[in-house]
Amino acid sequence: MANTPGIPKGTRDFSPEILAKRNYIFDIIKDVFKKFAYRQLETPAMENLSTLTGKYGEEGDKLLFKILNSGNFLKKVTDPELQERDTKKMAHLVAEKGLRYDLTVPFARYVVQHQNEITFPFKRFQIQPVWRADRPQKGRYREFYQCDADIIGSYSLINELEIVQMIDEVFTKLNLEVTIKINNRKLLAGIAERIGYPEKLIDLTVAIDKLDKIGLEKVYEELRLAGISDDAINFLEPILNLGGSFNDQMQCIERFIGETETGVTGIVETEKLFSYLDMFKFNNNIELDLTLARGLTYYTGAIFEVISDEIQIGSICGGGRYDDLTGIFGLKGVSGVGISFGADRIFDVMENLNRFPEDTTSSVKLMFVNFGQKEEKYCLPVLQKLRQNGINSEIFPDSSKMKKQMKYANSNKIPYVALAGENEMQENKFTLKNMETGEQQLVTAAEMIKALT
């Protein structure tokens, strides 16, 4: 045990079985992204540390993995600095690169860097791992995948509509029932303004976001802690307890924030988005949820979150509109809207509910049993032909005992085995065995190809 090697905290190996399942999810997401005309982008695992720092708040900076400079990484550090042991100050001296923390900031960097080559609006999707030096726990890893799609350079609410359509299609294809929650940051901003604390929008959203997790009382407590007066909190109550139909909710909101400028914009946007949504039929529930806030500070318009109806695991997909993502890199006035699927959590849900199709893990269709040199030579050309016909297949490389070979096929879930010995070779045929039913039949190579296609 002490001698067996391991992997770093919060990381995982993906066995062929798990990877097959994960790819099943990725392929569905990827196909939907492509169908909606998003094009794939990849960025390097590492970015310049200066690109990453300061984008995720102070907490986020702490969670960045930094890469030690090559060579003498202490070259730039002076003796007094070394004595001081101020790691925060020293970090940029010994590390100039860091692992990406999400896909959005590298995307923003890409857009700004290549702004002259890009034709706007620009639609891209990106499926890559990200790294966070977080303390791992349930559903939380130091290396995990994000599946992002963003459109940047368009204010149209058609983009929001399409985001919802994509979400609906992905989860329909995955055979999962979900609820798509929609809100708008401008509504929240209107509320903050109305209760007299426009500058507390972030505190307000962070607190409201926890409503279904910690309950009303604790939310009030957080709001008080943030310095919001009891009067204002009481004033807020009807909004937090909002229910009923979309129209009821909108009426109530209108009464509440109808006089604030941002609030009105929020109402117009939300009503327009829902009027688009009304044009189509969706397989999943779509609801307006005023308590949906989402932590990310850069959202400015519509926000989305998806939760499973069948299992409690938190949000499995989220996104929203941001008006100034590239501003931090000096490119102003580019609005975008994006969505991110949490592949790892979707995996957990699928696994829990047993929703992966049976044949996900077995990509190999057939194995030739190896009886010896003469038989190998008889099988190899046929194997080649199967492969040319797009049938994933293999021959057991050694003429080991039959039992060992069958066991190999069995444990790798290979559905068919082909046997060719003296008898078969004389007739120029193969015995094709169905591993599941145990049935066997004598067939020609052509018949075998036909049976497996």
Contact residues toward RNA (CB under 7 A) are 1-4, 6, 8-10, 57, 59-60, 102, 132, 134-142, 144, 146, 206, 210, 213-214, 294-296, 314-318, 340, 342, 344-345, 371, 401-404, 406-407, 409-411, 419-424, 431, 433, 435-436, 438, 440
Residue nearer to RNA on the CB measure, 259 or 351: 351
Cβ distance 419 to 433 under 8 Å?
yes
CB of 139 to RNA, least distance (A): 6
Residue nearer to RNA on the CB measure, 88 or 332: 88
Q: Which two tokens stand for residue 386?
A: 């199967």
Nearest CA to 323 among 199, 153, 147? 153
Give me the amino acid identity at 227.
G
Residue nearer to RNA on the CB measure, 274 or 322: 322
Nearest CA to 304 among 314, 292, 290, 322? 292
CB of 435 to RNA, least distance (A): 4
Query: CA 142, CA 372: separation in Å to the nearest integer?
Result: 48
CB of 45 to RNA, least distance (A): 16
Residue nearer to RNA on the CB measure, 118 or 202: 202
Cβ distance 66 to 49 under 8 Å?
yes
CB of 8 to RNA, least distance (A): 7
Residue nearer to RNA on the CB measure, 138 or 332: 138
Cβ distance 204 to 183 under 8 Å?
no
DSSP 360-372: GS----EEE----
Residue nearer to RNA on the CB measure, 273 or 420: 420
CB of 157 to RNA, least distance (A): 23
CB of 405 to RNA, least distance (A): 8
Residue nearer to RNA on the CB measure, 112 or 296: 296
Query: CA 189, CA 200: separation in Å to the nearest integer?
Result: 9
Cβ distance 118 to 336 under 8 Å?
no
Q: Is 392 helix (H, G, I), strand (E, B) or coil?
A: coil
Alpha-helix residue ranges (DSSP H) falling in 320-413: 343-353, 373-388, 402-411
Query: CA 368, CA 383: separation in Å to the nearest integer?
Result: 8
39: left (phi over 0), alpha (psi -120 to 50) or beta: beta
CB of 369 to RNA, least distance (A): 8
